[in-house]
Amino acid sequence: MPSIGREPRRVLDLYSGGGLFTVPLAAAGHRLTAVEENAQAVSDAAKNLELNGIAPRSVRLVRARVEDALRELARPPIDVVILDPPRQGCPREVIDAVFVGLRPARAIYVSCHPESFAAELPTILGAGYRVARVQPVDMFPHTPHVEAAVVLDRMTPAPVAARPRSAKSVNMPRSR
């Protein structure tokens, strides 16, 4: 898991599942809101928190679609957002809510389908973020499946046009 810093942070864990990131981050002293649509996964997360001795006040588990929950979770300001979406990636509504609306200082995007993430990246960069680090993870050796953990840091100041109309309107850095 890429670092989110040592001092306590307010973290929003989207598509949180059974608490893969929520549990260790809460154990490290961060305050989390974990959003997951699947009822069994939310129940598993609650059990994982209990089994790991995590104080209930440090984690808020929300059973909801991420798109719906984001409308309610914009307060207080969020320091870090973790996104671990399904293979199809995040709906545009989620990308806009996180990178244009919430504008956390750091986002960590865990993609099990890097091609989906690549399609979303121009919008994220256009909202004023830069890729700080990419870590590929080969969890399924001898198959074509590769995961990627991408750390995205907000640039200061934000660009003038924080919401590009399409991927074509984003100026991508040229590779050399």
- Convert the pLDDT of each residue in 100-140 to its tens digit: 999 999 999 999 888 999 999 999 999 999 999 999 888 88
At residue 166, the pLDDT reads: 42
Number of other residues whose CB lies within 10 A of the CB of residue 176 = 3
10-161: CATH class: alpha beta
Cα separation, 16 vs 166, in Å, equals 28
Q: How confident is residue 170, by pLDDT bands cut at 50, 70 and 90?
A: very low
pTM score: 0.82
Cα separation, 41 vs 47, in Å, equals 10
Find out whether 20 and 89 touch, Cβ atoms under 8 Å.
Answer: no
Active site residue 90: no
Domain positions in the chain: 10-161
List residues bridging with 147 in a β-sheet. 137
Q: Which of the following is catalytic: 112, 121, 150, 152?
A: 112
